Structure 1
C-alpha cells in the first residue's frame, strides 16, 4: 500500500461526505482559530518580558499604553480574552468534529447495510458473515475514532507550522531558518512511517475480519462444537486467529514506536539552535529580549506537537485502511439490479414458467441446464432429486436471488427481470428448510410478513400452519420469546412458525423448500392437510426428499445434474418405472416392481 493509496482513500471519503462539506469547513475553521488562540499566550509572554525590561520603550508603549502599569493591565485583559476565545472554539470544534464523526459513521454503516441488502445471494455465498460485520462495525468505528480526534490534530499541526513560522520570519529570519531545519526531516520520517505502516494496518484490518468471522461462526455453531466435544480444538483455532491479529498489530506498533524517538532528536536540534543562537543575538543586542522569549517558547510550541504526529498518522492509517474496506463494500457491483419497472397484472394468478433456463454458480459450475417447465395458476408442482440436482436453484431464480445465464423466468407471463423486485417477492411466500426466526416473540415472527396484522389474523395463520396448538400451550402464548434464531423452540415448531409467517403474507405463489423435513409424522400429516386446503387457492411449488409429502401434487419433476429427467404425476411416474419409482420403492420398502398397463 503506497502513500497515494491512503490519499486516494481520503479523497474517496471526502467525496462520500460532500453532503457534510459545510460542517467539515466549520469544524476545520474552529480548529484553526482555536490553535491561533492557543499559540498567542507564548507571544504575550514575550511581550510581557519586553514590558518589564523596556517599560516606556516597549512594543506595547508604541501602541499608546505609555505606563508600565497600563501595559500590564492591557496584557491581562488580552490574556483573558485569548484564553476565553480558545475555550469557546475548543468547545465548538469538539462539538462539530464529534457530531460529524457520529453522523458520518452512522451514514456509512446504514449505506453499507442497505447496499449489502441489494446484493445477490452469490455475494453472501462467497463472503463470511463475520467479515461483513467487522467491516460495518469495527471499520466504521475505526474511522469514527480518527474523526473524533485525529482530524483536528492534523489541522492544528499544519496551522502551528504556518502560524509559528510566520512569527519567526517576522522576528528573526535567521532563527526561523534554524528552527525549521528539522521539519523536513520530521516530514520525511512521517512519510516513511506512513509508507511502511499503510500495508501493515491493511493487514490488521484483514485479521480483524478473520477473527470476527471465526467468533461469529463458532457462536452460531456452538451446539455442533459441543456435540463433537471440539471446544479445545475451536479454542485453539480462535487462539491462532487472535495471535495472528496480535502479531499484525505488533508489526505496526514496532514501526510507530520507532518514529517518536527519531523525531524527538530532530526536535532537540531545532530547539538548541533557537536557544543558543537566539540567546547570543539577545546578548549582543541584535535581538529584543522579549522577542527572544517569544522565539524560545514558540520553538517548543512548534516542534513538540510534532512528536504526536506518529499517533496522528497511526490513527490516519488505521482509518484509511478501514475507509477502503467500507467504501469498497459500498462500491460492490449489484449483479441482480432492481431495475425492473413493470407491475404484475392484477389480481396475480401465480402462473410460473421457466423457458430454457440455464444458470451456473461461479467457481463450482453447479447449477441447471436448459430447464423448461410450466406451472399453471392454482396447481401444485413438486421438485424431487438428489442434493445438488438444481431444485433450490430454480427457486432462487424465481425469487430473482440470481439472474439466469440464459433463458427467461416468467410470472403470469411477465419476465421477472422486468418486474420490481419488491412486487415480485411480495407475490411469493418462501418456507425454507433452513428456518430463520428473528429474536423476539412468536407474534413478532409470524407478523413479520405483515407488521400491521392483528392478533386474529396471526392466530388464523398459525391455525392453518398447525402451529396454534403448541403456541396455545405455552405459558405466554404469542408473547413467548423464541430466542436468537428461535433456539428455544424445536425444529418442527420453528418450521410451523415459518409456514404461518408465509401464509399470513397470503401470497399467490407458495414455495416450500423441504418445509416438512424437521417435523414428525403426525405434524407432517397435519401440514399436508393444511397444504391441501391452501393449495386450491394458490400456486404451490414444493421441494421434497420425502416422496410421501408430494403424492398429491398435480405435477412432479425429477431432476438430476441440473436437468429435468422425468415429469408427470405420482401414478404416471410409478408407471414409467424410472428414477422416481426407484426412489419410491426405497422410501416405502416396496421392492415389488410395479406392473405397467
Structure 2
C-alpha cells in the first residue's frame, strides 16, 4: 500500500485493530485506563439515582426504599444519603484523576514510540523510497499524524468507553424499574448508532483526504523554506505565495467537506434524543399519576434519560476525532509496513584490519523509475590506490558509489570489499569502512565541532583540529569569534560553499575510514577551495583507497586509474597519459576542458 495513497476502503475499525496490535505492550496500561473510565462513569450516574431515592424519602418517608434497609426515620435516611453522596462524588473525582493520568500518559508514551519507530524504520528504508517520496509527507506522518492520534487518546478514547458504559449501566437501571419505559427510552438509540456509523462511513474517506492535503501542504512549506534563496533570486515570492495558497485552500476545502458531513450528525441526533426524553417524561408521568410508578423511581428515570441520551450528542465530536485519528493511524502504520529491500541480515563484520580493496564484478543495476543505471561493470581497485570515475551526467558513476555503500543492491553481479561481498557483512561495518564527501554537502544544525566530529563524537579536540588542518579548514575556523563552537545554521547556511565542502572533507577524514569516496566533491567550489582540497588529497591518499567521481578532469590526473563510464558501461580505463594516447572519449573531453576543442566534438556530452 502506498504511503501517499492509503486505501480509503480500509475501515477505521480495521485501523483501530492494527493500532491495538501495535500497542500490545501497553495492554495492562490500556486495561487500567479503561477500568478507571468505567468506574468513574458508574460513580457519575449514581447521583441521579440518589436524587430519585431522596425524592422517595421525602414523599414516602417511613415507607421509602431506604426505610426497608433499616433506617426508619426520614432524618436518618437523609443523612445516610448525604454520606453516600459524599463518597460517590469523592470516588468520581479520584477515578477521573486516575483515568486522565492513565490516558494522557498512554497518549504520550504511544505517540513517542510511534514517532521513534517510524523514524527508525524510515532510516532503514532504501534510498529509492526517499527519492520517490516527499520529505514533507514523511514529516507530516511522523509529526502531525502522530499528534492527531495523541489528541484522540487524550480525550476521545475515554469518551467512547464512557458512552458504552452509560448505555449499559443506565439501561440496566431502566429495565429494573420499568421495562416499558426502558423500551421507550431506548428506542432512539438504534437510530443514533446507525447515524453514527453512517456518518463514520461518509466521513472516513473525507478525513483520509484531509490527511493527504496536510502532507501536501507540509511538503510545499518544507520545499519553499529550503529553497528560499532561489525564490528570492528569481523574485518568485508572489508566485510561491500563490502556490502555497492553492495548497492551503485545498486543505481548507477537504476539511470543509468533512465538516459538512460531521456537522449534520448533531441536529439529527438531537431530535432522536428529544423523542426518547419525551417518551420517558410523558409515559412515566402518567404511570406515576396513576400510582403504577413510584414518584422517586419516576424522578430517577427522568434524570437518567438525560444522562443516557444527552452524552450521545457528543458522539459526533468523538467520532470526528476518532476518524481523524484512524486516518492518521493508517498513514503511520502504512509507513511502518513499507518493506526494506536492502536487508541488513548479517551480523558478520568486515575482516579487520580493513585494507580497502574494492571490486565490482559484472555488476548490473537499473532504476525502476527511469531505467538508467549500469550494465555489466567490472572494476578492480587495489587497496591504497586511487580510482577516478568520469563521464557525462547520468552515465552511472554515482550509481556505482551507491552500490558500494549498499544504498541499493545490484540486480546482477557482486560488489566486494577485501574480497567479501558487501551483502554478506553488516551494513554498520561496511559503512564504517567508507568515508563519503559528496557534492551536495549536508551539515547538521549545531557547531562546527559537532559537524566535524559527526562520525566520531568521542574524538578529542586535538583530533578535530588536526582533521580541520588536513582539510585546510582550520585557517578560516580559527579566526571565527567562537572557533570550533561557531554555529553553522540550518544545513550550514552561515558558511560559504567552499567552507562547507572543507568541513565535509574534515568530517570524512576524522572518521579515518580505509576507503574514501569523493563524489563530485570539487565541482561546486571555487578554484582556491579546489586547490586546497587537492593538496589535502595528496596528504590523505597515502595508504587509503580513494574513489573519485569528477567532471573536472584536472582534479584526477594523478589517479592510479581512470575509468570512463558511458551509458552505464566502462568504455575506457587507464592512467591519464594512457587515456590521452588512446585518443577516445577521455582525450576528447580533456581537449574541451583545456580549450583545444569544441564541446560539440566530444562524444561524452
TM-score normalised by L of structure 2: 0.97
Q: Distance in 2 between matches of 1:293 and 1:15?
A: 45
Describe the superposition over 1:392-429 as per-residue Cα deviations: whole angstroms up to 9, x where unpaired.
Answer: 00000000000111111000000000110000000000
Q: Distance in 1 between matches of 2:8 and 2:52?
A: 44
Of 476, 482, 491, the match for 2:482: 476
Shift of 1:526: 2.3
Q: Distance in 2 between matches of 1:363 and 1:5?
A: 31
Which residue does the alignment assign to 1:184? 190
Which residue does the alignment assign to 1:551? 557
2:8·2:208 contact (CA, 8 Å) conserved in 1? no
Which residue does the alignment assign to 1:445? 451
Q: Distance in 2 between matches of 1:120 and 1:53?
A: 77
Which residue does the alignment assign to 1:26? 32
Q: Distance in 2 between matches of 1:362 and 1:485?
A: 30
Residue 459 of structure 2: SS of its match in structure 1? coil
Which residue does the alignment assign to 1:342? 348
Q: How many residues align?
A: 593
Of 44, 49, 53, the match for 2:50: 44
Shift of 1:590: 2.8
Residue 473 of structure 1: SS of its match in structure 2? coil
Of 92, 115, 124, the match for 1:109: 115
Shift of 1:363: 1.5
Q: Distance in 1 between matches of 2:8 and 2:478?
A: 64
Q: Distance in 1 between matches of 2:11 and 2:268?
A: 25
Of 240, 260, 264, the match for 1:258: 264
Q: Distance in 1 between matches of 2:555 and 2:341?
A: 36
Shift of 1:175: 0.0
The structure-2 alpha-carbon separation of the partners of 1:280 and 1:27, relative to structure 1 and needing over 3 Å to count, comes to same
Q: Distance in 2 between matches of 1:340 and 1:362?
A: 26
Describe the superposition over 1:198-231 as per-residue Cα deviations: whole angstroms up to 9, x where unpaired.
Answer: 0000000000000000000000000011111111
Are 1:566 and 2:572 matched, yes or no? yes
Describe the superposition over 1:461-514 as per-residue Cα deviations: whole angstroms up to 9, x where unpaired.
Answer: 001111111111212111111100000100000000000000000000000011
Which residue does the alignment assign to 2:3? none
Question: Aligned ranges for residues 157-172 of structure 1 at < 5 Å?
Answer: 157-172=163-178
Describe the superposition over 1:67-119 as per-residue Cα deviations: whole angstroms up to 9, x where unpaired.
Answer: 00000000000000000000000000000000000000000000000000000
The structure-2 alpha-carbon separation of the partners of 1:333 and 1:3, relative to structure 1 and needing over 3 Å to count, comes to closer
1:142·1:322 contact (CA, 8 Å) conserved in 2? yes
Describe the superposition over 1:257-281 as per-residue Cα deviations: whole angstroms up to 9, x where unpaired.
Answer: 1000000000000000000000000
1:3·1:195 contact (CA, 8 Å) conserved in 2? no
Which residue does the alignment assign to 1:378? 384
Of 209, 212, 216, the match for 2:222: 216
Please say which of residues 244-253 and 520-529 is displaced more in the overlay: 520-529
Question: Aligned ranges for residues 267-278 of structure 1 at < 5 Å?
Answer: 267-278=273-284
Which residue does the alignment assign to 1:492? 498
2:389·2:565 contact (CA, 8 Å) conserved in 1? yes
Question: Aligned ranges for residues 361-400 of structure 1 at < 5 Å?
Answer: 361-400=367-406
The structure-2 alpha-carbon separation of the partners of 1:472 and 1:564, relative to structure 1 and needing over 3 Å to count, comes to same
Of 290, 293, 298, the match for 1:284: 290
Describe the superposition over 1:294-313 as per-residue Cα deviations: whole angstroms up to 9, x where unpaired.
Answer: 00000000000000000010
Describe the superposition over 1:425-467 as per-residue Cα deviations: whole angstroms up to 9, x where unpaired.
Answer: 0000000000000011100100111000011000100011111
2:386·2:548 contact (CA, 8 Å) conserved in 1? yes
Are 1:524 and 2:530 matched, yes or no? yes
2:54·2:81 contact (CA, 8 Å) conserved in 1? yes
Shift of 1:529: 1.7
Shift of 1:346: 1.4
2:270·2:313 contact (CA, 8 Å) conserved in 1? yes
Which residue does the alignment assign to 2:78? 72
Please say which of residues 519-528 and 75-84 is displaced more in the overlay: 519-528
Question: Aligned ranges for residues 83-98 of structure 1 at < 5 Å?
Answer: 83-98=89-104
Structure 1: gaps (5+ residues): none
1:356·1:406 contact (CA, 8 Å) conserved in 2? yes
Of 57, 62, 67, the match for 1:56: 62
Are 1:427 and 2:433 matched, yes or no? yes
Q: Distance in 1 between matches of 2:486 and 2:265?
A: 58
TM-score normalised by L of structure 1: 0.98
Residue 524 of structure 2: SS of its match in structure 1? coil
Question: Aligned ranges for residues 171-250 of structure 1 at < 5 Å?
Answer: 171-250=177-256
Q: Distance in 1 between matches of 2:346 and 2:85?
A: 67
Which residue does the alignment assign to 1:508? 514
1:2·1:195 contact (CA, 8 Å) conserved in 2? no
RMSD: 1.1
Describe the superposition over 1:111-147 as per-residue Cα deviations: whole angstroms up to 9, x where unpaired.
Answer: 0000000001000000011100000000000000000
Shift of 1:591: 4.3
Of 114, 126, 129, the match for 2:135: 129
The structure-2 alpha-carbon separation of the partners of 1:290 and 1:3, relative to structure 1 and needing over 3 Å to count, comes to farther
Shift of 1:3: 8.2
1:128·1:213 contact (CA, 8 Å) conserved in 2? yes
2:357·2:381 contact (CA, 8 Å) conserved in 1? yes
Structure 2: gaps (5+ residues): 1-6
2:471·2:536 contact (CA, 8 Å) conserved in 1? yes
Residue 362 of structure 2: SS of its match in structure 1? strand
1:34·1:90 contact (CA, 8 Å) conserved in 2? yes
Which residue does the alignment assign to 1:413? 419
Describe the superposition over 1:331-380 as per-residue Cα deviations: whole angstroms up to 9, x where unpaired.
Answer: 11000011123221211000000000011111111111111100000000
Shift of 1:518: 2.7
